[in-house]
Amino acid sequence: MKTTLISTLAVTTSLAVASGPAVAADYKQNPFTLTYEGALTQNVEGAVNIHPVTYKLYGINIAANIYTPANYDPNGNYPTIVVAHPNGGVKEQVAGLYAQRLAEQGYITITADAAYQGGSGGEPRSTDTPANRTEDIRGMADYITQYAGVDAARLGLLGICGGGGYSVKVAQTDKRFAALATISMFNTGIVRRNGYMNSQLDTVQERLKQASDARAQEAAGGEIPYIRSGDPAPLTEEQIAKIPVDLYREGYIYYAQTHSHPNSSGNYPLSSLLSLMSWDASSSMDLINQPLLMIAGSKADSLYMTEDAFKKATGTEDKELFLIDGATHIQTYWVPEYVDQAMAKLTTFFGEKL
């Protein structure tokens, strides 16, 4: 199946942040191909361990990692948290970092590559649609609630960036999740339609026409046009410095340099816009009646999305918006002091609610 690439850095959002050299693990040197600082390198009896698993979701193989807490007893009764990764990200990056850190606090956690993405199956590759991504989260819940030692009545959900937007949509209707938290929540549909920070309002109909033509081309057996995140050749330091948006500039460094993983890709079929551009993570926020914690950096240029969704969450009085002072969007992915602050809030939140 042939594909074509369309360069549109301005409409991609699956990027992470780095304002200086990030401390990371080299996926090539890690037996589980994890990329984050402090990543597990082996399973040790009595310690936090990682368990790669594969399961089926609508006939597609899903690749996931389960983290179990220290002294895990399969006959025990553990609170459990599902962790949804950012757009274009994979389970070995920031989602794995938070899954591991939560396991260190006594939780069983699961994070999986979205269908059509990462190490999971599905064609066309990198398809990114709300229907798929929300089912990915429900599928993680389906699988982990059957895992030995999991207390299904104490199931939490953590969504990061685009995974945060899909998580709030899932929690609106799926009441298996007793508590919901997000970090740097990203409303993919709104951004795909309006552009980041409403920068593409004047091209909505033009892009919808392009997506419609792409769908017609696919149906006729032609090449699949892809929206591509950035240039095919690596950017120079000067070119990176000129990217005007923090999320994209710092994100390029995170995903392409410091925390790169071969399964991670910001590309997605142009036809995905047909479903993305009519979707809004923050619609029906009043259906969330679970405890809600939304975490974001005070300097994140994506903060407006978290604030909008939080304001609309009128169905729960048990909610908190926590700003990490000085952090940009993706610095919440890896900067130790910011990750520590996020973890402190998550530990308290899930400890009380689960």
- According to DSSP, the residues that pair with 51 across neighbouring strands are 66
What are the E-state strand segments in the chain?
3-7, 49-57, 60-68, 78-84, 108-112, 150-160, 179-183, 224-228, 268-269, 292-297, 319-324
pLDDT at res. 15: 35
Q: Which residues have CB under 8 Å from 118's CB, separation 6+?
A: 63, 90, 91, 263, 264
- Strands 179-183 and 292-297 turn out to be parallel
- Counting Cα atoms < 13 Å in the Cβ hemisphere of 105 gives 22
Integer-rounded Cα Rg, in Å, for the chain is 19
DSSP state letter for 257: I
**Would you write out the chain's pLDDT as a tens digit for each of its 354 residues?**
444 444 444 333 333 333 344 457 899 999 999 999 999 999 999 999 999 999 999 999 999 999 999 999 999 999 999 999 999 999 999 999 999 999 999 999 999 999 999 999 999 999 999 999 999 999 999 999 999 999 999 999 999 999 999 999 999 999 999 999 999 999 999 999 999 999 999 999 999 999 999 999 999 999 999 997 654 568 899 999 999 999 999 999 999 999 999 999 989 999 999 999 999 999 999 999 999 999 999 999 999 999 999 999 999 999 999 999 999 999 999 999 999 999 999 999 999 999
For the chain, the structural domain boundaries read: 3-353
pLDDT at res. 14: 36
DSSP state letter for 258: I
Beta carbons of 57 and 85 less than 8 angstroms apart: no
Given 3.40.50.1000, 3.40.50.1820, 3.30.9.10, 2.40.30.170, which CATH number is that of 3-353?
3.40.50.1820
Q: Give the residue carrying structure tokens 């298996």.
A: 176
Beta carbons of 297 and 329 less than 8 angstroms apart: yes
DSSP state letter for 178: S
Q: Which residues have CB under 8 Å from 132's CB, separation 6+?
A: 114, 115, 116
pLDDT at res. 23: 59
Query: Which structure tokens are listed for 13?
Result: 């959002």
Give the C-alpha separation, 178 to 155, whole Å. Answer: 6
What are the E-state strand segments in 41-149?
49-57, 60-68, 78-84, 108-112
